[in-house]
């Protein structure tokens, strides 16, 4: 009997080790799909969606709606009571994933836990989660992970590793209350937060940061790495009061998912991760050249849902951002802030549908492309692919120049072919003065941001002349 029990234990141990102890992958192997994807969906969802940017009848004055607890210094117990109203009954994992897929997106990154500490999954490390603290009472990540697998979508998780405003011991970035709303006690509260490392509620300080890391962050990360299948990306954010020791403990847990890609926000500078993360901006072509980077942006002004935020970017502007990011060698992570009932705002859906229509015709100018090897042009953006011994250039036109002819500066390679993606219109090319000139007859019939596919002989060396410069990485706020 004891021999049989021992054999069963040995078999269980082998099964566990074979499941997780996979051979180490090189960075090139891990990054391959990500570099080809170019386009992903960010999702900010949590209890803050229930507040929608308003507290006690006052509008949040500054910052993203997902920061409302900190900006307006909502007491922990009161914020917990708001969770008892949070019931996303219209959440449909298949619909979320299909919306992303039809927009042309290849991966999703969702806030498994944002800075308010609220977990969208069933956590045994804290009762501050969607299964225990809300009437919804169900794990939201599990059906999302299943839907991603079903539809061939990569799943990434955002996890706030340091900031946590509800679980005791978590850190808190000090935001002035007067930046959140006009409260007669704002000076008193601001003074308190200044003296208490950003905290504004005694409950937040009943444990140490080290206890928080050991009792909440590490076990929750282990849950995320073991309960939801393959996780493609771990997206850290705001390493407030983070230590190298804490970062090392979290990094150890990630070994459960050896293929995972991480960003640069765990703990600077000793934990650079795999990708750089400019925020709400597209860097110059030279700033991050040679590095893997992904810019994250909102469709309006805020990450989390805010009912009064109607400053929506146009679908055309979002397409331009996507193309420009790809032309500079980066990815575009576009955010959706679901409403408290779990549905996507209609404004987001409409824009994603428009982007999907554009991608169905022009996706080859985005997926698996490399940065523009030529000088920047004033009429649009250029991406490229290698095709055997030749090079394919994709010319996305935002504004036709006055002469209605596109100039490709300092390009002397012989043109093999030139076509407009999704259109039978004829394209003509002329070589002169060390440049190539491209024109399209009947271009008035083309839709927004048409793409010309130009194949030339040989490999094109990078001939950009823009100077390199330094760029600060933002934090989601």
Residue 416: inside a domain: yes
* Residues 70 and 122 occupy one common structural domain: yes
Q: What pTM value is reported for the model?
A: 0.92
Q: Is the pLDDT of residue 260 over 80?
A: yes
pLDDT digits 0-9 by tens, 282-332:
998 778 878 999 999 999 999 999 999 999 999 999 999 999 999 999 999
Q: Are 384 and 472 in contact (CB under 8 A)?
A: no
Domain with residue 171: its CATH number is 3.20.20.80
Q: How many domains does the chain have?
A: 2
Among the residues of 328-434, which ranges form H helices?
346-362
* Residues 388 and 290 occupy one common structural domain: no
Residue 339: inside a domain: yes
Residue 372: inside a domain: no
- Determine the 3-state secondary structure of 386 from DSSP: strand
* Residues 281 and 236 occupy one common structural domain: yes
How many degrees, rounded to 5, is the angle at CA 149 between CA 144 and CA 154?
85
| Six token digits for residue 454 | 């130009």
Question: Phi, psi (5° rounding) for residue 253?
Answer: -65, -35
- Determine the 3-state secondary structure of 470 from DSSP: coil
Residue 469: inside a domain: no
Q: d(Cα 250, Cα 281) in Å, to the nearest integer?
A: 29
* Residues 347 and 406 occupy one common structural domain: no
Last residue of one domain, picked from the residues 304, 333, 365: 365
Q: In Å, how far from its chain's centre is CA 469? A: 24
Q: Are 70 and 117 in contact (CB under 8 A)?
A: no
What number of other Cβ atoms are within 10 A of residue 457's Cβ?
12
* Residues 351 and 403 occupy one common structural domain: no
Q: d(Cα 26, Cα 426) in Å, to the nearest integer?
A: 44
Percent of the chain with pLDDT over 70: 91
pLDDT digits 0-9 by tens, 206-257:
999 999 999 999 999 999 999 999 999 999 999 999 999 999 999 999 999 9
* Interval 356-385 mean pLDDT: 97
Query: What per-residue string of b and e applies to 98-134 under the rule 16 or more CB within 10 Å gives b?
Result: ebbbbbbbbbbbbbbbbbbbbbbbbbebbebbbbebb
- Determine the 3-state secondary structure of 417 from DSSP: strand
What number of other Cβ atoms are within 10 A of residue 425's Cβ?
16
* Interval 443-466 mean pLDDT: 85
Residue 450: inside a domain: yes
CA dihedral 350, 355, 357, 361 (to 10 degrees): 180
* Residues 389 and 294 occupy one common structural domain: no
Distances (CA, A) of 474 to 72, 219, 283, 403: 22, 28, 12, 40
Domain with residue 397: its CATH number is 2.60.40
* Residues 435 and 303 occupy one common structural domain: no
Q: Are 450 and 420 in contact (CB under 8 A)?
A: yes
Q: Is the pLDDT of residue 471 over 60?
A: no
């Amino acid at each position: 009997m004891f021999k049989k029990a021992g054999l069963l234990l040995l078999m269980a141990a082998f099964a566990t080790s074979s499941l997780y102890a996979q051979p180490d992958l090189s960075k090139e192997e891990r990054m391959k799909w990500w570099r080809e994807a170019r386009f992903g969906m960010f999702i900010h969802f949590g209890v803050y969606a229930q507040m929608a940017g308003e507290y006690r009848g006052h509008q949040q004055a500054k910052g993203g709606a997902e920061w409302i607890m900190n900006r307006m210094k909502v007491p922990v117990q009161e914020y917990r009571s708001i969770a008892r109203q949070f019931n996303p009954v219209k959440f449909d994992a298949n619909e979320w994933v299909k919306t992303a897929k039809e927009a042309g997106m290849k991966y999703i990154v969702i806030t498994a836990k944002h800075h308010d500490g609220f977990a969208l999954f069933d956590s045994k490390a804290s009762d501050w989660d969607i299964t225990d603290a809300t009437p919804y009472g169900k794990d939201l990540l599990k059906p999302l992970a299943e839907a991603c697998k079903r539809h061939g979508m990569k799943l990434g998780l955002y996890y706030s590793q340091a900031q946590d405003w509800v679980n005791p011991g978590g850190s808190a970035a000090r935001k002035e209350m007067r930046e959140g709303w006009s409260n007669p006690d704002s000076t008193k509260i601001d003074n308190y937060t200044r003296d208490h490392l950003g905290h504004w509620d005694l409950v937040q300080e009943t444990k140490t940061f080290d206890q928080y890391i050991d009792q909440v962050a590490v076990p929750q990360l282990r849950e995320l790495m073991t309960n939801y299948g393959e996780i493609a990306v771990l997206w850290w954010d705001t390493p407030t009061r983070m230590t190298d020791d804490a970062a090392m403990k979290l990094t150890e847990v990630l070994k459960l998912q050896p293929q995972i890609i991480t960003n640069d926000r765990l703990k600077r500078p000793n934990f650079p991760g795999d990708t750089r993360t400019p925020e709400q901006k597209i860097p110059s072509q030279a700033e991050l050249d040679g590095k893997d980077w992904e810019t994250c942006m909102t469709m309006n002004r805020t990450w989390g849902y805010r009912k009064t935020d109607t400053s929506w970017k146009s679908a055309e502007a979002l397409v331009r951002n996507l193309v420009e990011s790809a032309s500079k060698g980066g990815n575009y992570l576009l955010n959706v802030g679901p409403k408290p009932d779990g549905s996507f705002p209609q404004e987001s859906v409409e824009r994603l549908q428009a982007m999907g229509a554009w991608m169905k015709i022009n996706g080859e100018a985005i997926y698996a492309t490399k940065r523009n090897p030529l000088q920047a042009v004033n009429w649009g953006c250029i991406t490229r692919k290698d095709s055997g011994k030749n090079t394919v250039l994709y010319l996305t036109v935002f504004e036709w120049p006055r002469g209605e002819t596109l100039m490709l500066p300092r390009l002397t390679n012989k043109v093999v072919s030139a076509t407009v993606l999704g259109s039978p219109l004829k394209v003509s090319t002329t070589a002169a003065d060390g440049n190539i000139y491209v024109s399209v007859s009947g271009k008035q019939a083309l839709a927004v941001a048409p793409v010309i596919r130009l194949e030339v002989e040989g490999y094109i060396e990078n001939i950009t002349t823009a100077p390199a410069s330094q760029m600060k990485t933002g934090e989601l706020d």
